[in-house]
Each structure stands twice: as C-alpha cells, then as structure tokens.
Structure 1
C-alpha cells in the first residue's frame, strides 16, 4: 500500500498509465466499489476489474504498461538497403533518361528492379529520411561532380572565338 502511495507521489517521474493504474488500485484498497471508482476516474468498470485482478496476480509490475511494439516492418532491412543504394546511383548511369531521382521515379525503379513488389512514395521518403546521414555526403559530392562536368561540357562546346569574346579579348 505504501508503494502505491509512493508511485502516486512521484507522479511527475512516472508515466501517466502507471499513475492512473496506481490511483485505481489505491481507491480499491480504500474499499471503494468499482462503480464509484468508475464514476470518479471516468474509466470503465471492466477495465478497473482487470487492473485490480492483474495487480493481485503480478503485484507492482502490473502497473507498468505492456506495449506490444507496434506493427512489424513491411520491408526487410535488405530491401531498405537496396532502395538506399539505388537512390545513391545517378539515374543516367544505369540507363534512365534523367539526371536526378524524384520520389516517384525512385519508386518506379525499385518496383521495376523487383526490389519490392509495391511501395508508396511516402514510404520511400521515410526510408531515405532514416538514412539521410549515410548518403547526404554522397549527394553533395555528386552535385559538385555534376557542376564540374556541366562546366567542362559547356567549355568544350564553345568555340575559341566565343571564349575570347566571353573573356573580353574582342
């Protein structure tokens, strides 16, 4: 009983679920009936009975929430890595007629290459955001490389006379 009171007193350090469960147990220990507790805390009688029953079986451990962990991941780590690897490859080097990936183009490429059977653009965005630190430098290096390449291509296509005119030698 003292432990429960301590849990309530330390409510600032506890999780709200633990505090709420502690209050239910404390009210029950004070001989309040389930309907009274239900009205006081706006919690269903069924939930109160389950909480009390679980406390009687497990003790203080029953106050801690037992979360299930959520939905399992839809895509494996290998699939995620392959999507990240694909995003790091310049599209024109693997036969696509564009120089930069968009989320929709990356989605189509991942499905074409059978990395995944189907994936949403939003999931692609999440996967890339989670891996942002790992390939951000690669994109910056790639952009710098493209700038150099574009400059070299531009300089190779203009004639000597045009270069002189640009340099102010005319």
Structure 2
C-alpha cells in the first residue's frame, strides 16, 4: 500500500473531530503513505491534509472546480488536481488510492463510503475499506446494517469486506498490513 484515501467532513465540526483528523494525517505520514483527499482546506478535510504534510507526508487533493471556493481548495497540497465534476473527482480518488479510510462525516462522506464499499463488493476493486468508528460515531449505522443483513438485504460477505476500527492506529495497521 502506498496511498490511502480519507473520506471525512468538510463542514464545521467540533475540536474532537478536528483532532481525530490531525492524528489520522500524522499517522498516515508516519506510515509512509500518501494521503489522497477531497482537496479542501476546511474542517476535517483540511486538518488531515495539513497534519500529514507537517509530519513529512505527501498529499494529493482532488477537488471539482465548483468547490474551489466553497471548500477552500488546499493550495498547499503536494499535488492538487482540479476536476470538472464530482464524479471525476471520486473516480480519480478511487484510482489513486490503494485503500480507503472513512472518518466521521455527513452525507457527502456517507455517499463516498457507500460507493467505495459497494464497488469492492461488486468486484470493481479489491482495495480495503475501513470505517473508523471513533467514539461510536457509526454505531447506529452499523446496527442498521446488521439488521439489514438479518433481513437478507445485505450479505454477510459484504459486511465481511468492511473493516470497522475504533482507533486511528488500528485503522492504519489494518491498511498497511491487511
């Protein structure tokens, strides 16, 4: 593994989540991984990228033109790629990453997570997909997914493809060692 894509909040969040993003960026850099992110310089997205660079890591930001101002493009990225559309952004993020780590976030984060997880389930990639359940953030969703599996809507194989971790360290260890 050489690059990990991190999905996380780009909207305002409290200090606990910003600190989580910073710890994640630092851990990615210390593991010798390149960070691939949405290319924004705000909220958790900005914190993870800044921390990765401060720890000596390489960052690749991928942002659509129409979000350059809204998400305040991370002009300090080692490499900043500006796309025409969100679909192109997500395609490049998936292509450039060897694995995916989802931190807490909102509907945009959920959309990216579910698309990547589903793509792996459908055989479009075989890259690891990790969900960081910091402080139980994703516990309601995980309970819902377990219920969907019980009802036959989600296969056990799909759930087995998803690695749920409680800490940044556990997440990075899984991504680097499998």
Alignment TM-score, normalising by the size of structure 1:
0.23
**Structure with the higher strand share, 1 or 2:** 2
Q: Which has the higher contact order (CA 8 A, sep 6+)?
A: 2
* Structure in which a larger fraction of residues adopt helix: 1
Larger radius of gyration: 1
